[in-house]
């Protein structure tokens, strides 16, 4: 087996004077609050940053919940607070009409989830409530010190900004992903560099003048904005080493090189279908002679028309194994044991995680991408982090690059900002 190239573990040194490390509890950050939105891609970024800060064993996960079912599935574009109020009104109208008419059915409104998400198996996750989080930050400050609050996703913006407004002396609030406006409502904003693509001359040429004022962001990044290359995540030195050990029996005996193929799903800025699936399978068949084994993972959102092509063309090939989603998720094992990766261009997260290994990453379908995702792909190619998958590669060829280390770098920036306040992370 060729050596597994891993990024260096993030430094646990805070880089602040010892006086802060030895100060009272009010100077030392020992805990974190994560505010999620129920989407794994968003919450994974928060948890990854918590890990990089060394607070993984002392954090609480709160979640912003929305009403579900029926007409609610069409209302997710509304601000979450307004959506909840509208649901409350519609539900009471429905209950009143049911009482009056004796109806026992409705095709529009279904029962609301409990506030802690209990009806979807989330009883251990707390409902994100500004008042309770602010009270906790204030009441425990003297004994347990300040609180780092990390949020990600559109639905979390109002919660996170309100916490900072009401408890600014007790918290440090980090918003992951660009909130689109009023960045000064947060102590730090962490967002991919390609979120600022709309400000480039190339992007401006694509937007009619009368629409430019509606495209965000409209201003260059401020000093408290941290720009990353890709998405934050939980993949680091320790997690990959742990996965390599956990999946040893599954992968150690596989013929080398092991090529891992991760397939996402079409997005608004990267649309594709069976045509890209056929291009991918044809290319894989072309390089199969230089592969020891191939393992393919499909997302639960991968369209059926894409997966059908994959199974039809490669399902019976003895060198290829297609994960069916029934067994334990081998994703971490793939990252640890894979010798090279082929990833569809749609997913910033999948690509970012693969590029954190320092091993060859090939992208398929970049020509289907536009706007910010195309800019992301371009930046990776220019850095030599990824190459286009053409079907003419020798997959046994090993090449490397400085691994993406966005999460650790963002954590370092947070440490620096905390030190400026006279705070430090526990050592």
Share of the chain above pLDDT 70, in %: 83
Of the listed ranges 74-78, 165-169, 264-268, 371-375, the one predicted with least confidence: 74-78
26: buried, middle or exposed (CB in 10 Å: 19+, 13-18, 0-12)? Answer: middle
**299 falls within a domain:** yes
Comparing 67-81, 111-125, 219-233, which segment has the lowest mean pLDDT? 111-125
Average pLDDT of the residues in 229-258? 97
Q: What region, left, alpha or beta, does residue 273 occupy, with left being phi > 0 and alpha being psi -120 to 50 degrees? A: beta
| Cα 166 to Cα 181: distance, rounded to the nearest angstrom | 19
**Residue scoring higher pLDDT (12 or 63):** 63
- pLDDT higher than 80, residue 123: no
Q: Where are the beta strands (DSSP E) in 17-123?
A: 28-29, 31-36, 59-63
Residue 80 lies in a domain: no
User: For residues 302 and 73, which has the higher predicted lDDT (pLDDT)?
Assistant: 302
Same domain, 320 and 419: no
Q: How many residues does the chain have?
A: 427
pLDDT digit string, tens, across residues 52-82: 999 999 999 999 987 777 776 676 666 676 6
Residue-number span of the structural domain to which 272 is assigned: 237-403
Q: Domain holding 187: CATH number?
A: 3.40.50
Is the pLDDT at 146 greater than 70, yes or no?
yes
Reference 388, options 399, 398, 377, 401; nearest CA is 377
Handedness of CA 199, 203, 209, 214 (dihedral sign): negative
Residues 399 and 413 in one domain: no
The average pLDDT across 96-105 equals: 61
Q: Tell me: do 170 and 269 sit in the same domain.
A: no
Residue pair 109/71 in contact (Cβ under 8 Å)? The answer is yes
Comparing 202-206, 353-357, 373-377, which segment has the lowest mean pLDDT?
A: 202-206
Strands 31-36 and 147-152: what pairing?
A: parallel
pTM (predicted TM-score): 0.85
Whether 52 is in a domain gets the answer yes
- pLDDT score, position 92: 64
Assigned domain for 43 exists: yes
Ranges 95-104, 341-350, 373-382, 413-422: which has the least confidence = 95-104
Whether residue 423 contacts residue 14, with contact meaning beta carbons closer than 8 Å, is answered with no
How many angstroms separate the Cα of 321 from the Cα of each of 134, 298, 310, 316? 50, 11, 11, 9
| Number of independent structural domains in the chain | 2
For residue 79, being part of any structural domain is answered with no
Q: Within a domain: residue 195?
A: yes
Question: Residues 417, 325: one domain?
Answer: no
């Amino acid at each position: 087996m060729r050596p597994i190239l891993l990024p260096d573990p993030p430094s646990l040194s805070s880089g602040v004077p010892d006086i802060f490390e030895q100060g009272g509890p009010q100077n030392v950050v020992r805990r974190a609050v994560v505010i999620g939105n129920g989407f794994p891609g968003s919450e994974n970024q928060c948890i990854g940053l918590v890990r990089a800060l060394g607070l993984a064993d002392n954090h609480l996960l709160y979640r912003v919940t929305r009403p579900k079912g029926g007409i609610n599935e069409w209302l997710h574009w509304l601000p979450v607070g307004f959506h909840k109020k509208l649901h409350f009104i519609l539900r009471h109208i429905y209950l009143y009409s049911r009482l009056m008419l004796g109806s026992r059915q409705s095709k529009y409104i279904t029962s609301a989830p409990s506030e802690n998400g209990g009806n979807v198996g989330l009883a251990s996750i707390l409902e994100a409530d500004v008042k309770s989080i602010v009270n906790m930050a204030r009441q425990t400050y003297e004994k347990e010190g300040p609180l780092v609050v990390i949020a990600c996703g559109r639905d979390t913006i109002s919660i996170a900004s309100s916490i900072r407004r009401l408890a600014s002396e007790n918290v440090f609030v980090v918003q992951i992903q660009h909130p689109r406006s009023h960045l000064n409502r947060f102590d730090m904003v962490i967002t991919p560099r390609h979120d600022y693509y709309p400000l480039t001359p190339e992007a401006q040429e694509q937007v009619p003048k009368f629409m430019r004022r509606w495209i965000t962001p409209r201003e260059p990044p401020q000093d408290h904005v941290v720009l990353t290359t890709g998405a934050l995540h939980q993949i680091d030195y320790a997690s990959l080493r742990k996965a390599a050990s956990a999946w040893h029996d599954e992968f150690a005996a596989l013929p080398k090189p092991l090529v891992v193929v991760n397939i996402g799903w079409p997005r608004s800025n990267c649309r594709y279908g069976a045509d890209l699936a056929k291009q991918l399978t044809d290319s894989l068949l072309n390089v199969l002679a230089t592969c020891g084994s191939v393992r393919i993972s499909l997302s639960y959102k991968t369209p059926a028309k894409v997966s059908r092509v994959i199974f039809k063309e490669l399902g019976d090939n003895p060198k290829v194994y297609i994960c069916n989603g029934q067994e334990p998720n081998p994703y971490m094992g793939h990252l640890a044991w894979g010798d090279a990766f082929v990833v569809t261009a749609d997913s910033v997260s999948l690509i970012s995680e693969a590029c954190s290994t320092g091993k060859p990453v090939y992208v398929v379908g970049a020509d289907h991408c536009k706007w910010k995702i195309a800019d992301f792909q371009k930046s990776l190619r220019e850095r030599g982090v990824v190459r286009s998958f053409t079907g003419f590669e020798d997959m046994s060829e090993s090449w490397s690059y400085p691994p993406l280390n966005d999460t650790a770098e963002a954590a370092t920036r947070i440490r620096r900002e905390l030190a400026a306040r006279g705070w430090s992370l526990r050592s």
